[in-house]
């Protein structure tokens, strides 16, 4: 078994950009992409479940998420990136070279770039999956401006900073935004709350959870069935779209005890993309819980590849 210069774990904008830069630096990188079907590492990342991407530079008419990922993949492969499919289940960083184990194979590598992304947490009701991209979204910044949501009443589910931020953002396009929260007060920062409460387009639906998203038979979101957690009473609200903003989960469970993670599981980095272990670098949404955009993930992927190239040089490789 040969020793790789760098293995990139993941397959979103961050992983592909890192691969483009690493390939062009003659590092002959290997990408290990997820197999889909689990939350961790959908091949192509979160953009595979996004339809229209209108905010990625270079595409003045917009581009479909899966198409953008396919183009990035082809660009990485054009410069010689090899791509294999598998789940990285274990990383042994106790000896050099590092050992990565997937369900079927073992790899040895001088350096690792973790670009596994993060998955949006969902409500877990069947209609949510069936209506994904048909009025159900997990990213207002990505989808809010689409014609599908314009001048409609929309629902945002959640009570943290993300939910309040998304609700405020959506008021630019929606006729009204209902913020549905299971408690009677928000977890969001005071300044965000005050901003939302002053916004005439935002209404608050307290102590309520989403029981059902309507209407699967129509093939698009037309309403939502809400249940009051105190009274168990259910009501139906007519809406044109629903944004789930109950948080994200970084795909980093395989790194526990290997590199330093924060209390939410995001990889801690310093000096750019360096993790707490020399030779392991991290980029994209598994690091960044603030911006979470394709363009910022791609930028960090570029940084990680440059950091790897310089680090390998400093090690005499």
> Counting beta carbons within 10 angstroms of the beta carbon of residue 157, is it exposed (0 to 12), middle (13 to 18) or buried (19 or more)?
buried
Distance CA 1, CA 9 (A): 19
142, 286, 288, 307: the catalytic one is 142
92, 139, 285, 307: the catalytic one is 139
Q: 79 is written with which tokens?
A: 């410069």
Active-site residue flag, 139: yes
List beta partners, residue 57: none
Tell me whether the omega of the peptide bond preceding residue 159 falls within 30 degrees of 0, making it cis. no
Distance CA 94, CA 100 (A): 12
CB atoms within 10 A of CB 184: 12
DSSP state of 175: S
Active-site residue flag, 302: no
* Maximum distance among all Cα pairs of the chain, rounded to whole angstroms: 68
Contact status, residue 100 vs residue 1, Cβ threshold 8 Å: no
Contact status, residue 31 vs residue 11, Cβ threshold 8 Å: yes
143, 285, 288, 307: the catalytic one is 143
Active-site residue flag, 286: no
The catalytic residues are 139, 142-143
């Amino acid at each position: 078994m040969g020793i790789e210069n760098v293995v990139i774990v993941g397959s979103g904008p961050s992983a592909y950009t890192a691969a483009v830069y690493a390939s062009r630096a003659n590092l002959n990188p290997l990408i290990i992409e997820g197999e889909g079907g689990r939350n961790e590492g959908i091949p192509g990342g979160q953009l595979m479940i996004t339809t229209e991407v209108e905010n990625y530079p270079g595409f003045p008419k917009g581009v479909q998420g899966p198409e953008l990922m396919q183009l990035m993949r082809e660009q990485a492969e054009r410069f010689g990136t090899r791509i294999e499919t598998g789940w990285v289940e274990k990383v042994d960083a106790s000896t050099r070279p590092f050992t990565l184990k997937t369900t079927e194979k073992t790899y040895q590598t001088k350096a690792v770039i973790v670009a596994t992304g993060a998955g949006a947490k969902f409500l877990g009701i069947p209609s949510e999956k069936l209506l994904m991209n048909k009025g159900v979204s997990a990213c207002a910044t990505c989808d809010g401006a689409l014609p599908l949501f314009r001048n409609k009443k929309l629902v945002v589910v959640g009570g943290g900073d993300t939910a309040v931020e998304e609700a405020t953002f959506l008021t630019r396009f929606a006729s009204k935004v209902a913020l549905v929260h299971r408690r009677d007060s928000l977890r969001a920062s005071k300044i965000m709350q005050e901003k939302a409460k002053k916004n005439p387009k935002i209404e608050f639906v307290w102590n309520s959870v989403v029981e059902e998203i309507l209407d699967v038979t129509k093939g698009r979101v037309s309403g939502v069935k809400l249940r009051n957690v105190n009274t168990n009473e259910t009501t139906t609200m007519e809406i044109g779209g629903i944004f789930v903003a109950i948080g994200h989960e970084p795909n980093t469970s395989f790194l526990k005890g290997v590199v330093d993670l924060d209390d939410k599981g995001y990889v801690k980095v310093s000096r750019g993309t360096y993790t707490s272990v020399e030779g392991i670098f991290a980029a994209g949404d598994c690091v960044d819980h603030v911006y979470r955009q394709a363009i910022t993930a791609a930028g960090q992927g570029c940084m990680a590849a440059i950091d790897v190239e310089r680090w390998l040089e400093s090690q005499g490789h």
